[in-house]
Chains A and B, each alone.
Chain A
Amino acid sequence: MTTRIQYITRKTFRYILSFFVIITLIFLIPRLMPGDPILNILGEEVYYVTPELVQELKAEFGLDQPLHVQYAHYLVNFVQGDWGYSIDYMQPIFDVIIFRLKWTLVLLIPAVIFGAILGMLIGSIAGWKRGSKLDTETTSTFLFFYSMPHYWLAMLFVLIFAFHLDLFPLCGICSGGTEGFERFIDILWHMTLPVSVLTIFNASYNYLIMRNSVVQVSEEGFILTARAKGLKEKVVLFKHVFRNALLPLVTVIALDFGFMVSGVLLVEIVFSWDGMGTLIYDAVLARDYPLLHGCFLIIAICVLVANFLADVMYAVLDPRVRGEGVG
């Protein structure tokens, strides 16, 4: 019991440290990178204002003060959700991002769940029958998906399913003019293609991990015992191999978030899905640095939280962590 608490405390400490490193990075990057820090912190719009106004802005944001004062100022603003103001969107950056984040999660969460289930199932069967024709075929298929740029597969899907077969809409989140249940169905219809693309990628990633994990477990002594006892193959696979291979997968699902984040950002752009990805794409084009910083912070926080939850779950589930001190 105490070791579990120790384990979680240790992890918590590490996550808090990571979090500080991340926000400090975002404090330092605009001040160390080439170019005028004022411009980097306040955005390119500063170009178009008068020198007096620049001085005023500088004073207002405390940029004329020594670095440690600026840092304290930055931390306070960060905690209060005061992340700057986006002139393009006429809104505080924090509000813009939170609104967009919702739409990214709409794609990301189903893709992570479906992809994990699909990859786990196929992966464990392939690992169980390793060396068979089925294994070779599925492994090479998933390896090929694994090697593709996500957004390119998205473009291919649009070409086939939207352009030629006309089964799904080309882009966007919903057609507009609909409400209630109708709107819900409309959104589902719009998200089918992007979610499928992302599911395929997450499945290929989980497939490879699950397959390896099953291969490793099935070489252990207790599997030999189970077979020697005359248990049916199915029972051995699902009761003995699967359960043991499943444990690292709890962590994997959380890690999927980190892995899928870059994928979802790029896939969104292809589908003109108004989430974080298109937000970042537009911010890159406009060199809207404050907005980019905000996006990075939110994504980093989401990834940290997902990983932390995975670690806690792992500690709760794995008797080895429960009993002895691991990590």
Chain B
Amino acid sequence: MKILHKIDITRNRTSFIGFILLSAFLTIAIFAPFIAPHDPWEPGYPFLRPSLDHPFGTNDIGQDIFSELVYSARISLFVGFFAAFISMVIGTLIGLISGFFRGMVDEILMGLTDIFLLIPGLPLMIILAAYLSPSIWNIIFVIGILWWTSTARVVRSRVLQVREMPFIEAAKALGANEIYIVFRHVLPNTLHVIFAKFVLAVAGAMLTEASLSFLGLGDPLQKSWGMMLNYAFSRGGFINGYWWWYLPPGLCISLAVLGFVLIGFGLEERERERVKTSEL
């Protein structure tokens, strides 16, 4: 009993920290114009060291790095959310269909999922992004269509449980059609699983966006933390040891991703406990 109690506290504490981190970054993103001391696009005196006016100095064309960080929160979170959303829709549909209809459809869709799981994600995204013109929508698209595999699997295994439940049988007996049952009865019962996966997918998508941007495949017209790292690396910030240029964006990525990861793992753990207690 004592052990159980302890776990609960630590889990809640980690989820709570995740929640705080996320709220902080969301606030920064929403109120960016009020928080940033300068216009992040306004050029000025280049390579300034940190000072009161420029807390993190200025970059190679004199833009205020702190203001860039604040505005980048918008794009980084936006790309993360949207890419995760696309992957979630694809994964959920595939999981629902293959879990509910079983048989041949299931075989084909799960075979496809297994194949996609084996394809190295980042290298393929690099190729696709290299062909497409660099814009955040293309980045979102590329991440979204390649990130759905684990969602599909988890949703499918949950659907396999749900479809055996008595109320589904009842709905069938009442003559409800299958599409109706899938979306009205099965889907709502898989939502908590999907949500946990979604939160983790946002974390993954943000990291991937940062990686693609770091490789120079990001949108040059938008400011994101990955693009800032790219510029700091390719335009001499790294070689000259201007740590105030390249450390802050990386730290922001890490903390924002950590926020999503903490919440996501908390949700998954809760789901596991729930399954365990229902088995007893």
Contact = CB atoms under 8 A, between A and B. Distances in A.
Contacts of B262: 143
Nearest to B17: A140
A296 B122 CA distance: 9
Interface string A246-290: 000000000000100110011001100000000011001101010
Given A17-B111, A269-B233, A293-B127, 6 more contacts: A14-B111, A25-B124, A40-B131, A131-B6, A147-B257, A149-B254
Contacts of A289: 127, 130-131
Interface in A120-143: 130-132, 135-136, 139-140, 143
A22 B215 contact: no
Contacts of A280: 123, 126, 215
Interface stretch (A71-79, A181-189, A298-306): A298-306
Interface of B: 3, 6-7, 10, 14, 111, 114-115, 118-124, 126-128, 130-133, 203, 207, 210-211, 214-217, 226, 229, 233, 238, 241, 243, 246-247, 250, 253-255, 257-258, 261-262, 265, 276
Nearest to A285: B216
A219 B121 CA distance: 35
Contacts of A159: 241, 243, 247
A18 interface: yes
Contact of B261 (A15, A18, A147, A270): A147
B118 A307 contact: yes
7 contacts: A18-B114, A34-B132, A140-B14, A149-B214, A156-B250, A265-B123, A269-B214
Given A266-B214, A280-B123, A143 B254 contact: no
Given A147-B257, A149-B253, A295-B123, A131 B130 contact: no
A155 B3 contact: no
A276 B29 CA distance: 36
Nearest to A14: B114
A33 B142 CA distance: 13
Nearest to B123: A296
B123 A299 contact: yes
B233 A261 contact: no
B215 A300 contact: no
- Looking at chain B's contact residues, the main secondary structure is helix
A295 B126 CA distance: 11
A40 B132 CA distance: 12
B168 to A, nearest CB: 27
A296 B127 contact: yes
Given A14-B111, A147-B254, A131 B203 contact: no
Given A147-B257, A155-B238, A284 B246 contact: no
Contacts of A21: 115, 119
Given A148-B250, A149-B210, A303 B229 contact: no
A277 to B, nearest CB: 9
B24 to A, nearest CB: 15
A35 B118 contact: no
Contact of B253 (A152, A262, A281): A152
Given A34-B131, A266-B211, A261 B120 contact: yes
A163 B241 CA distance: 8
B227 to A, nearest CB: 13
B118 A18 contact: yes
A59 interface: no
A146 interface: yes
Contacts of B233: 155, 269-270
Contact of B127 (A14, A15, A29): A29
Contacts of B226: 149
Interface in A227-250: none
Given A143-B258, A143-B265, A287-B130, A155 B250 contact: yes
Contacts of B118: 15, 18, 258, 300, 303-304, 307
B115 to A, nearest CB: 5
Q: By CB atoms of chain B within 10 A, which of A15, A284, A285 has the most?
A: A284
Contacts of A29: 127-128, 131
Contact of A33 (B122, B126, B131): B131
B216 A284 contact: yes
A300 B119 contact: yes
A292 interface: yes
Contacts of B115: 14, 17-18, 21
A151 interface: yes
A152 B247 CA distance: 8
Contacts of A296: 120, 123-124, 126-127
Contact of B3 (A131, A269, A295): A131
Given A149-B211, A289-B130, A299 B7 contact: no
A131 B243 CA distance: 37
Contacts of B261: 143, 146-147
Contact of A292 (B126, B133, B214, B276): B126
A144 interface: yes
Nearest to A35: B131
Contact of B123 (A34, A135, A300): A300
A229 B118 CA distance: 44
A147 B203 contact: yes
A132 B10 CA distance: 9
Contacts of A219: 276
Q: By CB atoms of chain B within 10 A, which of A146, A152, A300 has the most?
A: A152
B156 to A, nearest CB: 15
Given A296-B120, A296-B123, A262 B250 contact: no
